[in-house]
Copies of this chain bind each other. A is one copy, B any other.
Amino acid sequence: MLTRSQINHIKQLSDKKYRDEVGEFVIEGEKLVREALLSRFNVKQILVHEHSKLELDSLDSSKIHFLKQSELNSISNWQTPQPIMAVLEKNTSTVPEPNGFHFVLDKIQDPGNVGTIIRIADWFGIESMYCSPDTADVFNSKVIQASMGSIFRVQCIVTDVLSLLSQYPTIPKYAAVLHGISLAQVNPSSKGFLLLGNESKGLRDELIELADHRITIPAKGKAESLNVAVATGIICYHLLS
Contact = CB atoms under 8 A, between A and B. Distances in A.
Interface of A: 112, 116, 119-126, 146, 148-150, 153, 183-184, 217-227, 229-234, 237-238, 240-241
Contact of A126 (B116, B122, B126, B221): B221
Nearest to A224: B148
Contact of A123 (B119, B150, B220): B220
Contacts of A149: 223-224
Given A121-B221, A230-B229, A237 B238 contact: yes
A181 to B, nearest CB: 14
B120 A230 contact: yes
Nearest to A219: B123
Q: In the assembly, how many copies of this chain are there? A: 2
Given A120-B230, A233-B226, A125 B238 contact: no
A116 B184 contact: no
Contact of A226 (B123, B220, B226, B241): B123
Ordered nearest first, which 5 A-B pairs have the shortest CB separation?
A: A125-B220, A125-B221, A230-B233, A122-B223, A123-B223
A14 B214 CA distance: 41
B112 A221 contact: no
Contacts of A150: 222-223
A223 B112 contact: no
A6 to B, nearest CB: 31
Contacts of A233: 226-227, 230-231, 233-234
Contacts of A153: 221-223
Given A230-B229, A234-B233, A234-B234, A240 B220 contact: yes
A231 B125 CA distance: 16
11 contacts: A121-B221, A123-B225, A125-B221, A148-B223, A149-B223, A153-B221, A183-B237, A217-B237, A226-B233, A233-B233, A234-B234
Contacts of A232: 230
B222 A122 contact: yes
